[in-house]
Structure 1
Amino acid sequence: MGIIKFIKQWTLLFAICVGTIIYLLFSRITFLSPIGDAVGPCLVRLMPFVIFTMLYVTFCKIKLDEFRPRTWHFCLQGIRTLLSAIVVLFISWTTSLETKIILEGVFVCVICPTAAAAPVITEKLGGSVASMTIYMIIANCFTSIIIPLFFPMVEKSANISFLLSFLMVLKRVLMVLVLPLLLALFTRRFLPKIIMWLRSKSNIAFYLWSFNLSIVMGLTVRMITRSQLMGTTMALLIVLPLIISLFLFGIGKFVGGFWG
């Protein structure tokens, strides 16, 4: 029981360690490598379905009348768009390949919308899941526009139209975010017993997120160990996202405090 309690208290750290260790075991030990090569891609393909289920479970706990767009939702999107534009300018000015790679990493950190796990973590911390959900929808709508707009400026050799990029991003938004929301609203309306059962299992979504996090950590370690980048560049690509995350968190806290 002590081990189970420890895992529950340190789920995030446990998921990170499990993902890292399992990848290293199944990639470095000869007789385990074939298993890793076979199972690894299956786990990656499973991730969108886990995200779908995770969000569905979380969305089942909110009501339609709780969805109210707030001023700060749009304010943060404006800030994100402005920061993305600034990074794009720096990328267009640089002539160093290594610097460009680092700036592209910064660009990804800034332009990407809120993670799909945000409502799950918000629920765990006692925040407003409904507010975070509507924020995610707004953020992803902005993303479907600004990524097709800025990406050709970052990667000038990319031969892809704005409309095609827009539809590609929109498809992912609909599949991963909108469909589980609609299914959850349908369940609330017509299958209340399922809602009651899900409410009694408060941590299902959190553990699904932890499972996905382990897969992501395995992919991250794989990319790091196979990368041909210089050590300094790799170190910056690891450290800068942490700094940017703290910076963006500070902006969010300031905006949230300003708008109450």
Structure 2
Amino acid sequence: MNKEIVIRTVRTYLLPLAIVTGCIIYSAFHFLSFLSPLKPFVAVTLDKAIPWLIFTILFISFCKVEVSKMKPHRWHFYLIILQTLICVGLTFSIMLYPDMVLSLPIEGFMVCVITPTASAAAVIGGKLGGNESSLTSYMLMSNVLSAILIPLLFPLISDNGETFWHEFSIIVPRVFPMIVLPLFLGLFVRYFVRRLHHFIVSKCKDLAFYLWGLTLVSVTGEALRCIVNSDESGFTLILLAFAGLLSCAFQFAVGKLVGHHEGQRITAGQGFGQKNMVFGVWTAFTYLSPAAAIAPGTYVLWQNIVNGFQMWYRTRWNERRAKDGLEPYQE
């Protein structure tokens, strides 16, 4: 088989392959007793490796960002306002009706909405033909918003009893170092270490995408662990999984709809739909309950099924465009 065909096939199906691999590896550690001694080592290794992988992914992505193109667009503010209104509305519905049957799925849905845009959104968005600079701007805005909304709203529906500033001081160290540091490092390399920047942009342009596939293997395993270790009934698990599916479909669809009017349908769809669910699962565990973490856990699977389909569709679409003598679609 031709090398280019192999690379294109792997690139097209990388995300579903990563999900399947994560499921297989988790199942092996869960069901095969002779692997049990390795569990603590694997857990510690992943706990230390994942932040560095995400940092590297962001650094490579930010090396390609042009500051002059990071100007805010109207769709940025539309989606930020919409995210805020949805989260505030869900918070008050849970406060007013804490004992309703759907309170737990609503909490899960809220976590999926309030979670900031994923670091890999720019990577996947760029592969899909989106505008990485515009997406990076929205990602920064989304992370700032989440760092404000989570400590402001979640104490109203949780039993932590802590102040806004205490919660804010916990969240900020988890959000900003992983976003701001690689951004500044990428910009520094771009303007002051030009040879290194040229090497990264020309030779490592796909590395971030493959690193995200590796990270997704671990994230998928974490999502399965949340589901398998849950004490909730089967019906509740289905409702939580459906909450994750509904929020995923809603956010991708709304993002694409809002961005369509400014010629950035893919960019806005990834910005609003692709979420940092590693952070989302942690948020649910910290402020709500392990059960509520199942919704963002399943969201990992749903959003990457969507991304996998989009990658497949883009490959086919660009093949048709090439036959018509057109360049690959790019926003």
What band does the TM-score fall into relative to the shorter chain? over 0.9
1:61 aligns with 2:60: no
Moved more, 201-210 or 62-71: 62-71
Aligned to 2:231: 228
Are 1:72 and 1:255, in contact at CA under 8 Å, matched by a contact in 2?
A: yes
2:189 aligned residue: 187
Deviation (angstroms), 1:215:
0.4
Structure 1 unaligned regions, length at least 5: none
Alignment partner for residue 218 of structure 2, among 207, 215, 220?
Answer: 215
Aligned to 1:138: 141
In structure 2, how many angstroms separate the alpha carbons of the residues matched to 1:241 and 1:226? 18
Q: CA deviation at 1:45?
A: 2.8
SS of residue in 1 equivalent to 2:129: coil
Matched AA of 1:13: P
Give the letter aligned to residue 44 of structure 1: D
Q: Which residue of 1 aligns with 2:49?
A: 46
Aligned to 2:175: 173
- Partners of 2:222 and 2:189 in 1: how far apart? 34
Shifted more, 130-139 versus 31-40: the winner is 31-40
SS at 2:102's partner residue?
Answer: helix
Query: TM-score, length-normalised on structure 2?
Result: 0.74
Deviations along 1:116-136, one digit per CA (max 9) or x if unpaired, are 111111111121111000101
- Alignment deviations for residues 41-89 of structure 1 (CA, whole Å, 9 cap, x no partner): 3213321111110000011012222221122211111100100011112
The answer to whether the 8 A contact 2:106-2:243 is kept is no
Q: Deviations over 1:80-105 (max 9, x none)?
A: 01000111122113343763221110
Q: CA deviation at 1:10?
A: 0.8
**Aligned partner of residue 10 in structure 1, secondary structure:** helix
C-alpha separation in 2, matches of 1:165 and 1:248: 26
Aligned partner of 2:81: which letter?
G
Q: Which residue of the partner structure matches residue 162 of structure 2?
A: 160
- The answer to whether structure 1 residue 150 and structure 2 residue 153 are counterparts is yes
Aligned to 1:240: 243
**8 Å CA contact retained: 1:74, 1:138:** no
| Residue ranges of structure 2 left out of the alignment (5+ in a row) | 264-331
Contact 1:87 1:103 in 2 (8 A): yes
Aligned residues: 259
Q: Are residue 120 (structure 1) and residue 89 (structure 2) matched?
A: no
Structure 2 distance, partners of 1:183, 1:62, is 12
Asked whether the equivalents of residues 60 and 205 of structure 2 are also in contact (C-alpha less than 8 Å), the reply is no
Structure 2 counterpart SS, 1:135 = helix
Residue matched to 1:104: 107
Secondary structure, counterpart of 1:39 in structure 2? helix
Relative contact order (alpha carbons < 8 A, sep ≥ 6): 1 or 2 greater?
Answer: 1
CA distance in 1 between partners of 2:66 and 2:122 (Å): 14
Question: Which structure 1 residue ranges, 4+ long, deviate > 6 Å from structure 2?
Answer: none
**What percentage of residue pairs aligned between the two structures are identical?**
37
Instruction: Output the amino acid matched with 2:160.
Output: A
Amino acid at match of 2:178: V
Quote the residue 2:290 is aligned against: none
Assess, with a 3 A threshold, how the Cα gap between structure 1 residues 121 and 161 changes in structure 2: closer, same or farther: same
